[in-house]
Amino acid sequence: MDLLSSVKMAWQSLLANKMRSFLTMLGVIIGVGAVIIMVALSQGTASGITDRISSMGSNLLTITAGGSSGPIRGVSTARLTNADVEALKTLPLVKYVAPESSINSATIAAGSSTWTTTVDGTSPELMSIKNWSTELGEFFTESDLSSTNRVAVLGSTVAANLFKSTSDAMGQTIKINGLSFNVIGVLTTKGSTMGSDQDDIIYIPLTTAQQRLLGSTTVRSINVQATTEEALTPLKEYITTLLRQRHRLASTADDDFRIRDMAEILSTVQDTTKMLTFLLGGIAAVSLLVGGIGIMNIMLVSVTERTREIGIRMAIGATTRAILTQFLIESLVLCFIGGLMGVLLGWGAAEILSVVASLKITVAPWLVALSMGFAIMIGVFFGYYPARKAANLNPIDALRFE
Partner 1 sequence: MSENLITLEDISKTYYGAGEPVYALRAVSLQINNSDMLAIMGPSGSGKSTMMNLLGCLDKPDSGTYTFAGQDVMGLDKDQLANLRSILIGFVFQNFNLIGRANALDNVCLPLIYAGVTSRSKREKRGREMLNMVGLGGREHHFPRQLSGGQQQRVAIARALVNEPALLLADEPTGALDSRTSEEIMFLLCDLNREQGLSVVIVTHESEIGLHCQRIVRLNDGQVISEESVPIRMHQAQAQG
Binding mask 260-299 for partner 1 (x = CB under 8 A): ----------------------------------------
13-21, 91-99, 129-137, 368-376 -> range binding partner 1 (CB under 8 A): 13-21
Considering the complex, what minimum distance in angstroms separates the CB of residue 335 from partner 1?
A: 21
Segment interacting with partner 1 (CB under 8 A) among 1-9, 36-44, 94-102, 120-128: 1-9
Backbone dihedral angles phi then psi of residue 99, each to the nearest 5 degrees? -80, 155
- Give, in degrees to the nearest 5, the angle at Cα 17 between 12 and 23: 120
Question: By CB neighbour count within 10 A (0-12 exposed, 13-18 middle, 19+ buried), where does 401 fall?
Answer: middle
Please identify, using beta-carbon distances, which residue of 208 and 326 lies nearer to partner 1.
Answer: 326
Between the CA of residue 119 and those of 14, 52, 162, 201, 325, what are the distances in Å? 63, 21, 15, 6, 68
Q: Which is nearer to partner 1, 264 or 397 (by Cβ)?
A: 397
Verify binding: residue 13, partner 1, rule CB under 8 A.
yes
In this complex, which beta carbon is closest to partner 1, that of residue 19 or of residue 316?
316
Task: Say whether 152 sits in a helix, a strand or coil.
Answer: strand
The Cα 158–Cα 166 span in angstroms is 9
Nearer to partner 1, 9 or 370 (CB): 9
Smallest gap from Cβ 319 to partner 1, in A, equals 4
- Residue 318 touches partner 1, criterion: CB under 8 A: yes
Q: Residue 36 burial (CB < 10 Å; 0-12/13-18/19+)?
A: buried
SS3 content of the chain, % helix, strand, coil (to 5): 60, 20, 25
Size of the residue set binding partner 1 (CB under 8 A): 25
Distance, in Å, from the CA atom of 95 to the CA atom of 305, rounded to the nearest integer, reads 78
179 binds partner 1 (CB under 8 A): no
Q: Which stretch binds partner 1 (CB under 8 A): 65-73, 98-106, 305-313, 374-382?
A: 305-313
Tell me whether residue 6 or residue 225 sits nearer to partner 1 (CB atom): 6
- Give least dist CB 389 to partner 1, A: 15
Site for partner 1 contains 380 (CB under 8 A): no
Rounded least distance, CB 402 to partner 1, Å: 10
Q: Which residues pair with 225 in a beta bridge?
A: 60, 96
Single out the segment in contact with partner 1 by CB under 8 A; choices: 167-175, 180-188, 296-304, 309-317.
309-317
How many residues are listed for the chain in this entry? 402
Does 308 bind partner 1 (CB under 8 A)? Our answer is: yes
Q: Any alpha helices (H) in 75-216, and if so which ranges? A: 82-89, 125-130, 142-146, 156-162, 166-169, 206-208
Residue 322 contacts partner 1 per CB under 8 A: yes
- Residue 2, interface with partner 1 (CB under 8 A)? yes
Name the helix (H) or strand (E) containing 343. Answer: helix 320-356
Applying CB under 8 A, the residues found at the interface with partner 1 are 1-2, 4-5, 9, 12-13, 15-16, 308-309, 312-322, 395-396, 399
